[in-house]
Amino acid sequence: MFSFSAPSVYQSSKCFVTYGVMGRPDPQNLSSKGKPWSTLLSQDFVHKVDLILPAELVQLVEDKLTGDPSRAPVFHKVIMTVGQILEGDFFTEYIKIGVLTMYLDKETYERAGLVGKPHGVKGKRGLKPRWVVQFDLRSPSMLHGKKGFDRLAYACKNVFNAPVTWLFNNLSKTPVPDPLSRHYPVKYTSHPKISKDISTKLPSLKPPISILSSQSQLDLDEFATDIYEWLSLVRLDSPRINIDDKIDPYLSNYTVPGAPDDLQEGKLCRVSWQGFIPPRWTRQTLAEVILALPAKSWFSLSTTTFARDIAGDSADCTIFRPPNSPREYLLWDIRKQN
């Protein structure tokens, strides 16, 4: 594993690349330890998931991943004040079991009178100062009548008193009656979007043997950079990877990596989900993809989390299984550096 060097002191993210092996997953007892499983579980809620694979295998994916409507991620949008989420059954059934995290601008933070810490890379805080305030609501002190909780309740009444639009995802069993229902939530389902028969030039997707040697870092660096860039362009539906792309080289000098004579033409499929998706769902999806596809086929699964500020600090993870390599994988893990 290694990280790409930062180009400047203001770089706020790093990309860690891992080349490793993993065993066949047990769908009834999925691992939470070891990569790539632990990397997926360590993410915050995911905004977008992209699965890329050869077009001839799309039917296997449709049957396994998209044929059952009940496995599609479900979430709700609801309008509430911060104070309302800390009241009654909604608080005890949903919020009391978690951590409340708020990202505040300078004026709101000072008015609230709560204890927090600066958020973001030190060199960038001057652009738009923000503070992060956290309350572990599982603590015995987080009850009405306790000093710490009463300070939060006071801030909710006097500062955080405007209605806010929330995305809500229930990670446990829904209580009856559901405290969420009285706030008129709107339900959303993340149905998959399938893009079939994407014609492209395929680079060599098999890692060079030299990356396993003791002098492997430069070779892994080059291969990982080329493949990650190509996969990212496929995710973006960029015309640069199309077979018939005729862009003026003055506007873009990108070419699919590899010697022109070695490039093959092929068709891809991209399956995308977008919404408010819990990380355990992406772990389950990775396991189902591995079990649904032939052992020698290649695929990539990418996840992008929600950004936490205007500039954007979302995390990104891409898992790639090379062709004819049932147990091998490459993992790109892009993390926010605070």
- My answer on whether 200 and 326 are in the same domain is yes
Structure tokens at 175: 């209580």
How far, in Å, CA of 39 to CA of 34, rounded?
Answer: 8
3-state secondary structure of 20: strand
Domain count, the chain: 2
- My answer on whether 241 and 327 are in the same domain is yes
Radius of gyration of the chain (CA): 23
How far, in Å, CA of 104 to CA of 100, rounded?
Answer: 13
- My answer on whether 54 and 200 are in the same domain is yes
- My answer on whether 299 and 268 are in the same domain is yes
- My answer on whether 278 and 321 are in the same domain is yes
- My answer on whether 257 and 292 are in the same domain is yes
Residue from 302, 313, 270 nearest 66 by CA: 270
Q: What is the pTM of this model?
A: 0.87
What pLDDT, in 10s, does the model give residues 139-148?
888 888 888 8
pLDDT band for position 7 (cuts 50, 70, 90): very low
Burial of 249 (0-12, 13-18, 19+ CB in 10 A): exposed
Beta bridge partners of 18: 331
**Angle at CA of residue 244, ends 241 and 249, nearest 5°:** 70
- My answer on whether 100 and 121 are in the same domain is yes
CB atoms within 10 A of CB 240: 16
> By the 8 A CB rule, do 182 and 91 touch?
no
Show which of 189, 213, 237 is a domain's final residue: 189
What pLDDT, in 10s, does the model give residues 54-109?
999 988 888 888 777 788 999 999 999 999 989 888 988 888 888 899 888 889 99
For the cut 60, the answer to whether the pLDDT of residue 258 exceeds it is yes
Show which of 189, 212, 230 is a domain's final residue: 189
- My answer on whether 132 and 62 are in the same domain is no
Mean pLDDT over the full length of the chain: 85
Q: For residue 35, how many C-alpha atoms fall within 13 Å in the half-sphere facing its CB?
A: 18
> Rounded to the nearest 5°, which phi and psi values hold at 247?
-65, 140
- My answer on whether 166 and 220 are in the same domain is no
Show which of 130, 161, 189 is a domain's final residue: 189
